[in-house]
Amino acid sequence: MTAPQVARHCNADLKTIHNWVNAGKIGAFRTPGRHLRFRIEDVVSFLQEFGYPVPPSLSSTTYPRVVVITQDARTAQAIGRSLNDRAQLKIFDCSVRALIFIGHERPDVVVIDEEHPDVKSETFTSRLESADVALPAKVMVWLSRERTSETRWGRGRVAAMDVKEIPTMWLKISELLAARTGRGAGLATG
């Protein structure tokens, strides 16, 4: 959410929102362009803590935040159709921008297309293998063009998926998140 959107929900001035952020009353992060952004969960928590009404549009089921790294437009479109209205989806064709976004947003799921040129590099792969900090997502899904059942790394959070399975991707993600968190993932089923 943007600062003006939060200001409207709180019936407050934009400067007041900035003051609340500076005082640590509401969680926010800055985009590379230095604009304030707010996660819905942080806004809802703030509204509840300080006695503001929580609009129905914010209090409904929170959808998992999914980041996709692919340069293939058809793959991106297919994922968009599969996760339509079931997830907060952000698609990147640049792996550097994606990793910056991931560091700020801390998504629930990261989907990585193995055909992406940056992903094929050993540096990218070794960083993901060596540190959870590099990829703070709960679940990672590797997309490949070949049928494979192997997982890249353990800890129950990484799965491989064939691109032909994209139409049912939301089911796989829901199962992985439920297994990881021990409860339902909050994915819409309709």
Tell me: the pLDDT tens digits for 116-128? Answer: 887 765 566 556 5
Q: Please list the alpha-helical segments (H only) found in 34-187.
A: 40-49, 56-59, 73-82, 95-105, 122-130, 169-181
Q: Would residue 154 count as lying in a domain? A: yes
Burial class (CB in 10 A: 0-12, 13-18, 19+), 180: middle
Asked if 186 contacts 178 with a C-beta cutoff of 8 angstroms, the reply is no
Q: Would residue 167 count as lying in a domain? A: yes
Residue 125 confidence (pLDDT): 57
- Encode pLDDT of 25-58 as tens digits: 998 888 888 889 988 878 888 888 888 887 777 7
- Is the entire prediction scored with pTM above 0.75? no
Question: What is the rounded distance in angstroms from the CA atom of residue 180 to the CA atom of residue 133?
Answer: 17
* Number of domains observed in the structure of the chain: 2
What's 142's domain CATH number?
3.40.50.2300
Do 121 and 36 lie in a common domain?
no
Q: Which structural domain range is residue 120 located in?
A: 65-181
Residue with tokens 């809802």: 44
Give CA angle at 39 (42, 44), nearest 5°: 35
